[in-house]
Structure formats: C-alpha cells, structure tokens
Amino acid sequence: MISKTGFIFPGQGSQVPGMGLDIFKNHPAAKDIFDQADEIFGSKLSEICFSASCDILQRTDIAQPAMLTVSAAICAILKQNSLFPDLIAGHSLGEYSALVCSEVLDFATAFKLVKLRGKLMAKAGEKFPGTMVAVVGSNKKELEEECMNFSNDNSVVIANYNGPQQLVISGTLEAIERFSALMVSKGKRVIPLNVSGAFHSHLMKPALEELVEAIEDTYFHDAKIPIVTNIDSAITTEGKKFKEKLKWQLISPVLWEDCVNCMIEQRVSNFVEIGPQKVLSKLVKRLFYY
C-alpha cells in the first residue's frame, strides 16, 4: 500500500515572534510572498512577523494575515522544489492557506479576504466580548451534553473538535468563566486560549455579512489538489463549493478530528504542517495512537 502525503495548515494561535525571517532571507519565492503582503497590508507586515512582540502578533487583525503569509511563503518554497501533497486540510484560518496551496485562490486574493476577516472578527469580539478554552479529558458526546445542560441559549458551544480528548469551547466571557469552573469541579483540565473573541460561534455573526459579501464577490477556481473542508470534513475540489462552505465557516465548528480521519482513510500517513510551529502535528499524532 502506497502512503500519501498531506499538507496541514494551522490557524490563529500558531504565530510566534520571528516567524518567516529565515525563509525571507534565503528564498526569493518566500520574499515575493512577503513583499505582496506588505503592499496589500499597507504597512510592513513582514517586519511585524520578524520583530513584533507576542502581544502584537496575538491581535486578530494582525495574526490572521501574518499566519496566511508565513504558510503561503513556506508553500511557495516547497512548490518551487516540486514538493506537492496528495491531500490538503487547514484548521480554521488555515483553510485560506490551503486554498492558496491548491490554487483555488491566488495569494493576493486570499490575503485581502483574510485581512478583512481578521478586522471583522476583532470588531465582533469587541461588540460581543467572548473567549475560548480547551477542555481536555472529555469526549465529544459528554461535552456536547454538558454544553446543552449548561444553557439553552448557546452561551457556550463546541467550536473545535480537535481530537477525542481535546475540544475547544467558545462563549461569552461570563459563561466561559462559569463553565470552566464547572469542568474543573468535574476533574477536567481547562486551558484558556489567548484569543480576542468567541470564534466559530454565533457571537461572530456581526462579522458575517460583510465577509460573506466579499467571498461572494470573489472567484474560486477548482482545486488543483483536493482539500478536506472544515465544516463537513468532505473532500472537495469544486470552486463553487469552497465559496459556499467558506461563507459559514466563521460561525460553524471546526471538525478537525474528522478532517484528519478522512485523510487517514485516504491513506495519508505523512502529514506535513506548513507553519511556524507543530500544533496540528501533535493533534494528528494523538489521533494516530488513540
């Protein structure tokens, strides 16, 4: 049985100070991506990636275009060296990087969408303050029931199904504080995430209208390489389907565990994370040995 290679693209939260500097200095293909980003961003996003503090890089309106740029720059180097995957997936924001890798969108087009997405999500977080926490040690059925029993108004919801024992909850600040205390009292480990809002929940609806309008005005090519999409863990190649799915990604849960399992079913065993850290690689490793 021939094993396949899958590229996986991380989302917001994987950014680190200094990311991309080495490839910027040593690879013209990467420098070209950073130069495009600087021009569209309106200021030196490259300098922010290379020298800004963690606090600056954690800002949603900066983290998102910065992560897209670094992932696209790494991918450009791999393509230049004729290194291509059989299948692709991106986690949340990383789905935009996946679309660039598969040439559904060119980098400049994707960057404009992501720049807008980051700005709108930051504004939504200001309008409806919320946050996210990872809950470790609870299976998805158990945690779904806990969320439903906790409230009937979706004040807390599962935002990321990252693995059988690693789920991420989104909600209002007050609700997340109370829910976290409840989970700790039941012996679960709760890890606060440093984010500016309740991503992948109904609290992001203020960002939806303008982002959907921008997506609707964008042409999506058919994929050169199949992508497993977040909202349904389905292998997708048609441009019009990416457009429809991306419209609702922001308020839908990320089915990452299902995406990875789909790739494994397609005989992907060599997973390559295209980003500055190994966050997704660790999640994949846990799924392999679960």
Whether residues 122 and 14 share a domain: the answer is yes
Query: Annotated catalytic residue: which of 170, 180, 196, 200?
Result: 200
Query: Annotated catalytic residue: which of 92, 138, 155, 201?
Result: 92
Could you list the residue range(s) of the whole structural domain that residue 145 is in? 130-192
Whether residues 67 and 181 share a domain: the answer is no
Q: Is 67 inside a domain boundary? A: yes
Host H or E run for residue 268: strand 268-273
Nearest-angstrom CA–CA distance, 174 and 128: 11
pLDDT (tens digit per residue) in 20-71? 999 999 999 999 999 999 999 999 999 999 999 999 999 999 999 999 999 9
Whether residues 177 and 207 share a domain: the answer is no
Whether residues 187 and 67 share a domain: the answer is no
Final residue belonging to a domain, choices 172, 192, 212: 192
Asked if pLDDT for residue 153 goes beyond 90, the answer is no
Q: Is 63 inside a domain boundary? A: yes
Whether residues 54 and 117 share a domain: the answer is yes
Asked if pLDDT for residue 117 goes beyond 90, the answer is yes
Whether residues 43 and 180 share a domain: the answer is no
pLDDT (tens digit per residue) in 13-22? 899 999 999 9
> What is the reported pLDDT for 290?
60
Whether residues 239 and 106 share a domain: the answer is yes
> What is the reported pLDDT for 228?
99
Q: Is 14 a catalytic residue?
A: no
Q: Is 264 inside a domain boundary? A: yes
Q: Is 197 inside a domain boundary? A: no
> What is the reported pLDDT for 1?
66
Nearest-angstrom CA–CA distance, 171 and 61: 20
CATH of the domain at 240: 3.40.366.10
CATH of the domain at 158: 3.30.70.250
> What is the reported pLDDT for 139?
92
- Going by pLDDT thresholds of 50, 70 and 90, the confidence category of residue 206 is very high
Final residue belonging to a domain, choices 192, 222, 237: 192
Q: Are 6 and 86 in contact (CB under 8 A)?
A: yes
Percentage of residues in the chain having pLDDT higher than 70: 99
**Span 188-210, mean pLDDT?**
94
Asked if pLDDT for residue 289 goes beyond 70, the answer is no
> What is the reported pLDDT for 288?
74
Whether residues 224 and 150 share a domain: the answer is no
Give the residues across from 190 on adjacent strands.
Answer: 135
- Going by pLDDT thresholds of 50, 70 and 90, the confidence category of residue 152 is confident
Rounded to the nearest integer, the mean pLDDT of the chain is: 96
> What is the reported pLDDT for 2?
80
Asked if pLDDT for residue 233 goes beyond 90, the answer is yes
Q: Is 49 inside a domain boundary? A: yes
Q: Are 86 and 4 in contact (CB under 8 A)?
A: yes
Asked if pLDDT for residue 120 goes beyond 70, the answer is yes
Asked if pLDDT for residue 184 goes beyond 90, the answer is yes
Q: Is 202 a catalytic residue?
A: no
Final residue belonging to a domain, choices 144, 159, 192: 192
Q: Is 231 inside a domain boundary? A: yes
Q: Give the count of domains, the chain.
A: 2
